[in-house]
Structure 1
Amino acid sequence: MEREKVELFKEVLKKLHKGEDVESLKKQFGELLSQIPPFEIPVIEQELLKSGEIDVRDIIKMCDLHVEFFRGAVSEAGREIEKLPNGHPLRTLYEENKQILKDAEALSLLASSMFSLPKDDPRRKQFYEKLVQHVSELHRIGLTHYTREEMLIFPYIERRGITAVPTVLWSKHDETRLKIRLLLNLLKKEESDERLKEEALELSRMLSDMVFRENNILYPTLKVLLTEGEWKAIKMLEKDIGYYKIEVTEEWETPEKPLLPHRNCLRRPIPFRGLGGSRHVYHLQIQ
């Protein structure tokens, strides 16, 4: 790995600590950073984390900058993933993200439309009911899409010594889960229009940004790192958790044997606490 890339990241982080705004950093470093392949980003971050020069909170800040630096700069990554056959776990995640992005945009549209209407407008009731229904459905993103990544994908990354990426993304997932729960509670309490609109638009942005991070940074990294045997193991286990609003076909096949991230994964119970506080346990196993 080129030493200059690591030093460049350090310089950006120092400026970020000093409060320099994203637009200024984009002008100074955007062109150089956009030349770094997406799959090298996690390795650079991990090197900085191991050296003790930054902590996870710093990387979370850097993760936010990725969205700005790489928006449009790595658009080719999505096209490469679309070349994978239907049913490949990575293609499935990518297809789910299309639905998540669609739902994020729908949330923004619903909120903007509802809160632009006068309070005595009879259409507000219809918008309100639809908004509550829509936000209620969004919690399934955490139960399916995010949980598959956390329980089935992240262990393979950690196995390679890359711990910063799963830590940061899991943190982002939890922030989104909490925001969904908060918005739903505020809707039920009929909070002020201003607060509801603000929270709805923020949630829409969070969902969209996560789609960008995954499609253009995480997924190209996984495409390079994971083997066919590892994808086969993920494929065999993912049905136990479920999918977000898509039908998964079985076109993809591989002759490779399933390779689990750890030998003790066989029949390993996976606990997961849902947004409502209930406990779900997925007994994942390979026959």
Structure 2
Amino acid sequence: MSELINNSEKRKNLLKHLILQLHSGEAPEQVKERLIQLLNSIPYNEVVEVEQQLIAEGLPEEEVLRFCDIHTAVLDGSIDTSTAKSVPNGHPVDTFKQENRALEERIKRIELIFQKLGIATEEKTNNYLLQLQYLFNELSDVDKHYLRKEYLLFPFLEKAGITGPPKVMWGKHDETRELLKAAREALSHAKGATKEELATVISLVLQPALEAIEGMVMKEEEILLPMALDTLTEEDWYQIYVETSVYGFCLIDPQEEWKPESTASKEPVFLPGNAIRLSSGSFDMNELEALFVTLPIDITFVDGNDKVKFFSHSPKRVFERNRSILGRDVRLCHPPQSVHIVEQIINDFKSGKESKAAFWISNFKGRFVYIEYTALRGKDDEYLGIIEVTQDITDFRKLEGDQRLLSYSSKS
């Protein structure tokens, strides 16, 4: 096939012809062999173009989806990805790949348990089944990985005119979700099964779920992600990055932050629907308001300029607050005899000498009250203000022994 090396159009035409032959069932082993030979010299983007063309020319998406597993077996490790771009730590592609490594690690552990089940005693078998239940529950975290692709990555590809691969992959996501659901259901009823019955469950239910996840890992890393890196701008990737925490991460908690140097974008603070984004998730404004009202502690925030900026307005606050204090210098919110303590806390926190100060009152209207002041510092340890947290701990001080059974409190 040396005549194809520098001829993209001929490569794609031949690949298209071979895939159609494979789909029609013509000498599958011989066709697969020719496909592998061709794929050793064809860039990943041409594989995607051919799939896109087949869908555009009328090959039903269901048909492409039905034979997708055949493609996976043929393409695995055979596509040339040497031209794929590298990405820095924290980039959305880096996160996708870290998640894939975590998925593969769980799959290896599961397959090791499969091997042990064949020679395990009854007691060991039950233990292994519990481990499998736990690991398959962990694998179900892949749903967040797929959701980020479906709702963050795919829309940018579609805007660029790449619609075929996302549609096929979305279909495979749904298949994998169903396979994982079936696997969890089978494991929930597997206790007491014979070794023969377990072998059947493994081969017909559990193994297909693992193969589906592994197949998608290959498709992502050899086709989807390199193609996306060639297609999306850094601005696109940054939008994906800042929205990622809305859907959550799969099995990992990334520590690296990423912001492209070339983009002038600022990270948006608000999501659609008047929700606010934080580094570890997001809240609808009504949810955030309800959270601060419901928390069993009172919170007051004094900003870096010593102004009262926020307080939680729980109906059971220990110390009364009203909105007239907002914007007021915190020194003016305390009686003269205690202002010197407030001043010292502010100075010690600002200088970095201290970061926490605690007080408690043993009899405030018959209650034991704990008050803690904590310096609020940013990512670079810059001083941002002070958080005051107050809590009525009277009932906590009375606790003894353990409370391990469910018991609803009658107190409202």
Show structure 1 runs of 4+ deviating over 4 A. Answer: none
Q: For residues 67-121 of structure 1, give each alpha carbon's deviation from its aligned partner in whole angstroms, at most 9, with x where no partner exists.
A: 33433334755x956x42111011110111111111122222222322x035x53
Q: Which residue of 2 aligns with 1:26?
A: 32
Q: Determine which of 61, 65, 85 is the counterpart of 1:56.
A: 61
Q: Does 1:232 align with 2:238?
A: yes
Q: For residues 144-171 of structure 1, give each alpha carbon's deviation from its aligned partner in whole angstroms, at most 9, with x where no partner exists.
A: 1111011100001111222111111011
Q: Does 1:214 align with 2:220?
A: yes
- Give, in angstroms, the shift of residue 197 of structure 1: 1.2
Distance of 2:53 and 2:153 partners within structure 1: 21
Q: Determine which of 8, 28, 34 is the counterpart of 2:14.
A: 8
Cα RMSD (Å): 2.8
Distance of 2:232 and 2:185 partners within structure 1: 39
Q: Does 1:117 align with 2:111?
A: no
Q: Does 1:184 align with 2:184?
A: yes
- Give, in angstroms, the shift of residue 188 of structure 1: 1.4
Q: For residues 258-284 of structure 1, give each alpha carbon's deviation from its aligned partner in whole angstroms, at most 9, with x where no partner exists.
A: 59xxxxxx6179xxxxxxxxxxx997x
- After TM superposition, the structure 1 = structure 2 runs for residues 147-162 of structure 1, keeping only pairs within 5 Å, are 147-162=147-162
How many pairs does the alignment contain?
261
- Give, in angstroms, the shift of residue 224 of structure 1: 0.6
Determine helix, strand or coil for the equivalent of 1:240.
Answer: helix
Which one has more relative contact order, counting CA pairs under 8 Å at least 6 apart? 1
Q: For residues 184-232 of structure 1, give each alpha carbon's deviation from its aligned partner in whole angstroms, at most 9, with x where no partner exists.
A: 1111122631332112222222211111111111111111111100000
Determine helix, strand or coil for the equivalent of 2:247.
Answer: coil
Q: Does 1:164 align with 2:170?
A: no
Q: Return 5+ residue gaps in structure 2 as ranges.
A: 1-6, 275-281, 285-412
Quick check: 2:41–2:79 contact (8 Å CA) kept in 1?
no
- Give, in angstroms, the shift of residue 179 of structure 1: 0.6
Determine helix, strand or coil for the equivalent of 1:211.
Answer: helix
- Give, in angstroms, the shift of residue 138 of structure 1: 1.4
Distance of 1:125 and 1:196 partners within structure 2: 15
Higher normalized strand content (fraction of residues)? 2
Higher normalized helix content (fraction of residues)? 1
Q: Return 5+ residue gaps in structure 1 as ranges.
A: 260-265, 270-280
Distance of 1:33 and 1:11 partners within structure 2: 13
Higher mean C-alpha displacement, 167-176 vs 202-211 = 202-211
Q: Once the two structures are aligned, what percentage of the paired residues are identical?
A: 27
- For 1:242, the aligned partner's letter is G
Distance of 2:222 and 2:158 partners within structure 1: 20
Q: TM-score, normalised by structure 1?
A: 0.81
Determine helix, strand or coil for the equivalent of 2:88.
Answer: coil
Q: Determine which of 67, 75, 81 is the counterpart of 2:72.
A: 67
Q: Which residue of 1 aligns with 2:142?
A: 141
Q: Does 1:47 align with 2:49?
A: no
Distance of 1:201 and 1:68 partners within structure 2: 15
Structure with higher Rg: it is 2
- For 1:171, the aligned partner's letter is G
Q: Which residue of 2 aligns with 1:252?
A: 258
Cα separation, partners in 2 of 1:100 and 1:239, compared to 1, 3 Å: same
Q: TM-score, normalised by structure 2?
A: 0.58
